[in-house]
A and B are shown apart, each in its own frame.
Chain A
């Protein structure tokens, strides 16, 4: 079972990963966006870590709701509401159970991803974070590792796509040939989940 500490570690691992990859995310964003995705997410997940460390929530759902609220309050741009909604809605779907199974997490994440799709009005193939998240949710039903692989592959598969949502859509055909920064950071989030599970000894 996955408890609040597991979710706390997932968020901390994501924060560390975003720190490590911030320059790369910003570089990807400068090709088809406005060169701030890395620094914006870095600011957001730093705030998430600080809030979780200050007053650790007692349930998995509460961890994600608090993390989502922090992202909405600190990131700005489109990423703030979208990532914030992803975590908040996933957290709400987990309810107030003190611990959840991997299957319950995968289903809750599915609800979170659906909320992101609704908020942003995007669908698969629009060259957005959904292109990493949708395959990840499906693969998470198998294992965390499969979920991370699917997210990574989904992010890579955005390269030949033409953006239809967000700032990259202004580029039209010129967005083709670049990896989507949002899909890339979404893959980091799922990779951090797999990493957290592996560190927990795979008994999740």
Chain B
């Protein structure tokens, strides 16, 4: 691992991020990353956060057209309420703040506490819960579906609406619409090693893969002998489509888990597009790359979001962040 000591991994990363991105205000001590021009007068602010180890999520998405602030927690551990309260105070222009929360018990509890505290400080807060991972059975007997790739769609599209001056209830409604229109499925070719543990967090023998893996190495639906890119695309896309059943075009995110080369991801995207075409699904836009990662895990995920013209327009709107920038 390219680290000094496990205890300073998050802080070290933030110091490096500050050095690379003068357009962001990085509070290393309190672990809050804020766009430098915040608060933007009259604009609804978006604050997200979650455990570190999924970079560029979330701090890499801070900037005009997307997040106002991000709160990175310890590796694979949700941030603490103090961070979100501090972030909300830094970015609120008076127009309110939307918390984008991935559905994990820790994130939900900490953001809930933060929302109460921010509310007490006079900040109007709305929350959207992202839960797009179809690998998990959404039942009373689990913590519910996990939030993964759809987080990027929610942050981009709701962020664009906020940048255009939409009010908090509209931004929150759009964020929920995007989440409900999105589904994901992930596959691990290797396990993942956290700095604190120093060895793989789950046991995945070479020559096998985990279908339906979570972005913290949580297990999925089943384990199988290694499959080809073509076979994985068939399995992953069908798992998503079985649940989403889109009646219109989609935006596709073909996402790397961290250790899979871009060459392989593009090859995988070719297979994803093939399956979608075979299933009669029209792809309006495609994004390929490492966006919602799991440290050093090899593997990929597919996220589809059913869109209408308005969502495509907001997707195409200018964005200026470390990890996503286009337009303008």
Residues of chain A whose beta carbon lies under 8 Å from any beta carbon of chain B: 26, 30, 34-36, 39-40, 43, 72-82, 119-120, 162, 164-167, 169-172, 174
Cβ of B194 < 8 Å from any Cβ of A?
yes
Q: In whole Å, how far is A182's beta carbon from the nearest beta carbon of chain B?
A: 11
Q: Is the CB of A119 within 8 A of B104?
A: no
* Interface residue B277 (Cβ < 8 Å from any Cβ of A): no
Cβ contact of A36, chosen from B75, B112, B214, cutoff 8 A: B75
Q: Which residues of A contact B201 (CB under 8 A)?
A: 30, 34-35
Contact in complex: B113, A81 (CB < 8 Å): yes
**Cβ-closest 8 pairs across A and B:** A77-B106, A81-B109, A78-B106, A169-B142, A78-B105, A76-B77, A77-B77, A35-B197
With a CB–CB cut-off of 8 A, which chain A residues contact B79?
A: 76
Does B78 contact A34, Cβ atoms closer than 8 Å? no
In the bound complex, residues from chain B placing their C-beta under 8 Å from that of A81 are: 81, 106, 109-110, 112-113
The CA-CA distance from A36 to B78 in the complex, in Å, is 11
Residues of B within 8 A of A43 (CB): 74
**B218 in the interface, Cβ–Cβ < 8 Å?**
yes
Is B217 within 8 A of A34, CB to CB? yes
Tell me the bound Cα distance from A80 to B106 in angstroms. 8
Which residues of A have CB within 8 Å of B202?
A: 30
- CB contacts (< 8 Å) of A30 on chain B: these are 197, 201-202
Q: Across the interface, do A165 and B143 meet the contact criterion of CB distance under 8 Å? A: yes
Residues of chain A within 8 A of B110, CB atoms compared: 76-77, 80-81
Contact across chains for B73 and A166 when beta carbons are under 8 A apart: no
Whether B77 and A73, one on each chain, are in contact in the complex, defined by CB atoms closer than 8 angstroms, is: no
For the complex, count residues of B whose C-beta is within 8 A of A: 36
Q: Does B136 contact A (CB under 8 A)?
A: yes
Chain A hits for B214, CB < 8 A: 170
Please report the C-alpha to C-alpha distance between residue A170 and residue B148 in the assembled complex, in whole angstroms.
14
Interface code B190-225, partner A: CB below 8 Å = 1, 0 otherwise?
000010110001100000000000101111000000
Q: A120-B109, A169-B143 are in contact. Are A39 and B196 (CB under 8 A)?
A: yes
For residue B82, CB closer than 8 A to chain A, the reply is yes
Q: Which residues of B contact A40 (CB under 8 A)?
A: 74, 77
Complex CA distance for A170 and B192, rounded to whole angstroms: 17
Q: Is the CB of A26 within 8 A of B197?
A: yes
Apart from A77-B77, A77-B78: 5 A-B pairs, beta carbons within 8 A = A30-B197, A80-B110, A167-B143, A170-B136, A170-B142
B109 touches A78 (CB 8 A): yes
Q: Which residues of B contact A174 (CB under 8 A)?
A: 219
Cβ distance A108 to chain B, nearest Cβ, rounded Å? 21
Which residues on the A side are within 8 Å of B217 (C-beta)? Answer: 34
A86 → B minimal CB distance (Å): 13
CA distance A172 to B222 in the complex (A): 12
CB <8 Å contact, A73 and B81 = yes
> Which of A78, A79, A120 counts the most B-chain CB atoms under 10 A from its CB?
A78
In the complex, are the beta carbons of A34 and B143 less than 8 A apart?
no
User: Nearest Cβ distance between residue A93 and chain B, in whole angstroms?
Assistant: 19
Cβ-defined partner of B80 (8 Å) among A26, A35, A76: A76
Q: Which residue of B lies closest to A38 (CB)?
A: B196
Let me know if A167 and B197 touch, CB within 8 A.
Answer: no
The answer to whether B105 touches A166 (Cβ under 8 A) is yes
Report how far A90 CA is from B38 CA in the complex, Å: 39
Residues of A within 8 A of B196 (CB): 26, 35-36, 39
When distances are taken between beta carbons in the complex, the residues of chain A under 8 Å from B75 are 36
Complex Cα distance, B108 from A166, in Å, reads: 11
The complex places the Cα of A116 from the Cα of B104 at a distance, in Å, of 17
Flag whether B76 is at the interface (Cβ < 8 A): yes
A74 to B79, CA, bound (A): 9
Once bound together, how far apart are the Cα atoms of A170 and B219, in whole Å?
7
Known: A30-B202, A170-B214. A36 touches B142 (CB 8 A): no
Q: How far is the CB of A112 from chain B (nearest CB, A)?
A: 16
Contact A170 B218 (CB under 8 A): yes
Inter-chain CA distance A39–B9, complex, in Å, is 14
* Cα distance A74–B83 in the bound complex, in angstroms: 10
Instruction: Tell me which residues across on chain B come within 8 A of A34, comparing CB atoms.
Output: 76, 194, 201, 216-218
Q: Are B142 and A164 in contact (CB under 8 A)?
A: yes
In the assembled complex, the Cα of A73 lies from the Cα of B324 at a distance in Å of 31
Contacts of A82 on B, CB cut-off 8 Å? 109
Query: Which residues of chain A come closer than 8 Å to B136, judged between CB atoms?
Result: 170
B80 close to A167 (CB less than 8 A): no
Tell me which residues across on chain A come within 8 A of B141, comparing CB atoms: 162, 164, 169
Query: In the complex, what residues of B have CB within 8 A of residue A166's CB?
Result: 105, 143
> What A residues does B81 contact at CB under 8 A?
72-73, 81
A80 and B142 in contact (CB under 8 A), knowing A120-B109, A170-B214? no
Given A169-B143, A170-B143: A74 touches B80 (CB 8 Å cut-off)? yes
Q: What would be 8 A-B contacts, judged by CB atoms less than 8 Å apart?
A: A26-B197, A34-B216, A35-B194, A76-B78, A78-B109, A169-B143, A170-B143, A170-B218
